[in-house]
């Protein structure tokens, strides 16, 4: 077999791995690049393979950096099946349609305001492109082996988000396990990742490979922020991934209110139509998460839903507080959160809580590094509000979690490849694995092909 590292090598975005065995070619994930402009521009380039030659896609989970380029693959000639767990299938439908809608809207807005360098500004792909992708999604149960040409595949749970999985692939002689994104062992909603299975090679994420998450819990961070805006009568603005992060935030805020640790009267506005659709799936697929049937529906009944653009604009016009607004996207790359930041960022009474990883090159990363001005829709917006960064909300395993997962492997793989991490994070984890486990471990380059 041969593995091609076509994304998420030296960066956390654009997960895309080509597995080639005799006449069979499959992709493990087909994600969108995010962050720096030079990374985003890769989305517009041709794939380093013929899309029509790919037999199937094995999709680990539904985040955009893993599934977001699937409509491009279909647009360029792919006609095979996209295998994933059933919750991932349903989430992917929602995410791809939302991604296409946002791209069309952003392109239209750029053309209307004339701030794009391209004339006309175009969407990377359209709603029509996304709709052509959806019929190819094919559900597979965890621990159920299936065939793709000369290869056998099965999924195990990786925690992380609803339906997320690790993928084991074998040609009968050699096996590879792709970890996908690994969850935490103490996530409030998701179960811990299943241990690794016996495999000759391992391809593992390294997002937080150089550090552990804060000892201060996510609930405590939320509590302190909410108590502060209660005093200042300000707004707590939380950019959030609509899948996974938003649901955890809503759960923990509700818990704080119910336990009397924060004022129960402070309203919570959830401004993400996609996030509301995702919340329904958390209720429908409750066996894939920790809550019992009906519990997540109760949480959503205590939240103010913001569904239309008019409702979102009205929320910006009302500067009174205290109130909490949760909106996508988590790294401030697009969506309604940008309009909220324009409205509330200049006011020192307010707080922006960065509740997750902020990829270099994003507005979230600029805020993380103390930027006092952020460019939004062609104009610079003053940031006078308090910015609170915290990795306690992360759905990714930290360094200790990653090492715990690896130590459960039945045997040491012949070779381990570290992906889905910035260069420093991946290399620090490489050193730790080499020191503690004495495994043969390396960090592949983008577009590198390795024979197993």
Instruction: Please list the residues that pair with 441 across neighbouring strands.
Output: 416
The pairing of strands 151-157 and 146-148 is: antiparallel
Domain-terminating residue out of 374, 389, 404: 389
User: What does the pLDDT read at residue 115?
Assistant: 63
User: What does the pLDDT read at residue 447?
Assistant: 96
157/278 same-domain check = no
Sequence-distant (6+) residues with CB within 8 A of 400 are 212
CB of 332 closer than 8 Å to CB of 363? yes
CATH of the domain at 230: 3.40.50.10890
pLDDT at 53 over 70: yes
pLDDT digits (tens, 9 = 90+) for 221-243: 999 999 999 999 999 999 998 88
366/401 same-domain check = no
pLDDT at 273 over 90: no
Lowest mean pLDDT across 121-125, 401-405, 438-442: 121-125
* Residue from 92, 101, 98 nearest 137 by CA: 92
Count of domains observed in the chain: 2
**Helix, coil or strand: residue 207:** coil
- Mean per-residue pLDDT of the chain: 94
Full domain range(s) for residue 201: 2-211+395-451
Kindly report the pTM of this predicted structure. Answer: 0.89
Q: Is the dihedral of CA 64, 67, 69, 71 positive or negative?
A: negative
User: What does the pLDDT read at residue 390?
Assistant: 93
CB of 229 closer than 8 Å to CB of 265? no
pLDDT at 396 over 80: yes
User: Tokens 């509330």 map to which residue?
Assistant: 344
pLDDT at 178 over 70: yes
Instruction: Please list the residues that pair with 153 across neighbouring strands.
Output: 146, 169
353/300 same-domain check = yes
**Helix, coil or strand: residue 145:** coil
Provide DSSP, 370-395: T-SEEEETTEEEE--SEEEE-STT--
Domain-terminating residue out of 364, 389, 414: 389
234/313 same-domain check = yes
Gap between the Cα atoms of 406 and 443, Å rounded: 16
77/144 same-domain check = yes
Angle between helices 273-284 and 245-258 (to 10 degrees): 80
149/190 same-domain check = yes
Q: C-alpha distances in angstroms, 335 versus 206, 367, 382, 383?
A: 28, 17, 19, 18
CB of 39 closer than 8 Å to CB of 11? yes
377/408 same-domain check = no
pLDDT at 154 over 90: yes
* Residue from 74, 78, 75, 58 nearest 66 by CA: 58
108/182 same-domain check = yes
pLDDT at 304 over 90: yes
Q: Alpha helices of 266-358 — where are they, by DSSP H?
A: 273-284, 295-300, 309-317, 337-344
User: What does the pLDDT read at residue 274?
Assistant: 84
**Assign residue 260 a region: left if phi > 0, alpha if psi is -120 to 50, beta otherwise?**
left
pLDDT digits (tens, 9 = 90+) for 78-127: 999 999 999 999 999 999 998 898 888 878 877 777 666 666 878 899 99
281/140 same-domain check = no
Domain-terminating residue out of 389, 404, 436: 389
| Eight-state DSSP code of residue 9 | S
CATH of the domain at 19: 3.60.15.10
399/385 same-domain check = no
283/361 same-domain check = yes
285/244 same-domain check = yes
Q: What is the mean pLDDT of residues 267-291?
A: 89
């Amino acid at each position: 077999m041969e593995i091609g590292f076509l994304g998420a090598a030296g960066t956390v975005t654009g997960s895309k791995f080509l597995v080639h065995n005799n006449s069979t070619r499959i992709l493990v994930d087909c994600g969108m690049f995010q962050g720096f402009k030079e990374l985003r521009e890769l989305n517009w380039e041709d794939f380093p393979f013929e899309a029509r030659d790919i037999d199937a896609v094995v999709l680990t989970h539904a985040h955009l950096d893993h599934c977001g380029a699937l409509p491009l693959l279909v647009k360029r000639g792919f006609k095979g099946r996209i295998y994933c767990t059933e919750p991932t299938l349903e989430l992917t439908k929602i995410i791809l349609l939302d991604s296409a809608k946002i791209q069309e809207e952003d392109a239209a807005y750029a053309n209307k305001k004339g701030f794009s360098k391209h004339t006309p500004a175009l969407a990377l792909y359209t709603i029509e492109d996304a709709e052509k992708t959806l019929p190819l999604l094919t559900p597979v149960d965890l621990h159920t082996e299936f065939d793709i040409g000369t290869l056998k595949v099965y999924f195990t749970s990786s925690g992380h988000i609803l339906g997320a999985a690790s993928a084991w692939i074998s040609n009968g002689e050699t096996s590879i396990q792709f970890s996908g994104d690994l969850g935490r062992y103490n996530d409030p909603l998701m179960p811990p990742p299943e241990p690794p299975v016996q495999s000759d090679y391992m391809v593992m994420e390294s997002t937080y490979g150089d550090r552990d998450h804060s000892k201060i819990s996510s609930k405590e961070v939320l509590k302190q922020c909410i108590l502060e805006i209660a005093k200042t009568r300000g707004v707590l603005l939380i950019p959030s991934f609509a899948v996974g992060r938003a649901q955890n935030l809503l759960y923990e805020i509700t818990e704080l209110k119910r336990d009397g640790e924060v004022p129960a009267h402070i309203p919570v506005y959830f401004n993400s139509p996609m996030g509301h659709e995702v919340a329904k799936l958390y209720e429908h697929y409750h066996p894939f998460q920790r809550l019992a049937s009906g519990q997540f529906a109760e949480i959503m009944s205590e939240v103010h839903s913001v569904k239309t653009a008019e409702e979102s604009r009205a929320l910006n016009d009302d500067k009174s507080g205290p109130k909490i607004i949760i909106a996508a996207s988590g790294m401030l790359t697009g969506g309604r959160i940008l309009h909220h930041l324009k409205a509330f960022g200049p006011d020192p009474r307010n707080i922006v809580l960065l509740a997750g990883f902020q990829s270099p090159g994003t507005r979230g990363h600029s805020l993380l590094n103390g930027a006092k001005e952020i460019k939004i829709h062609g104009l610079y917006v003053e940031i006078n509000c308090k910015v609170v960064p915290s990795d306690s909300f992360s759905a990714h395993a930290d360094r200790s979690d990653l090492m715990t997962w690896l130590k459960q492997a039945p045997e040491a793989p012949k070779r381990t490849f570290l992906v889905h991490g910035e260069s420093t994070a991946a290399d620090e984890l490489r050193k730790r694995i080499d020191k503690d486990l004495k495994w043969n471990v390396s960090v592949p380059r983008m577009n590198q092909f390795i024979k197993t």
